[in-house]
Amino acid sequence: MRFVLPLFGLLALACSGSTPLAHFAVTNSESDPGCSTLADFCLRVTCTVKNDSAIPGQAVIDLQLLDEEGKVTNTQTERLDLGPGDTQTVTHDFKEAKVFGKQAKFACVIR
């Protein structure tokens, strides 16, 4: 059996020039009030990111503080250079969480 690629398919392959991109996943995310003091509530957000592809790349991750309705109120952006299979953890203390107290929520989002 012979596989024949139509002419437009060959042209698309020749013209695309695309290179494969690394793929990243959040493998763990958590929060705790460990950065709180007696006077102010604070939420420490931790996100672990893994490069689950075979090529190196830079992950851009947003650690987000959310209000009670799930709307983003603050964002800390981190850039991580990860090789194939590498994992890295980033942490940020959101002192702004005192506005929401223990109702504060968070998210780890890869762009």
Contact 65, 96 (CB under 8 A): yes
pLDDT bracket for residue 2 (50, 70, 90) = very low
Give residue 38's pLDDT: 80
What is this structure's pTM?
0.78
User: For the chain, where are the E strands, in sequence order?
Assistant: 24-32, 43-51, 57-66, 72-82, 87-94, 105-110
Residue type present at position 24: F
Say yes or no to pLDDT of 9 above 80.
Answer: no
**Highest mean pLDDT pick, 11-20, 46-55, 90-99:** 46-55
Give me the mean pLDDT over the 71-85 stretch.
96
Label residue 111 exposed, middle or buried (CB < 10 Å: 0-12, 13-18, 19+).
exposed
Question: Average pLDDT, whole number, for the chain?
Answer: 85
Look at 20 and 50; give whichever has higher pLDDT: 50
CB 82 within 8 A of CB 49: yes
Q: Percentage of the chain with pLDDT > 70?
A: 84
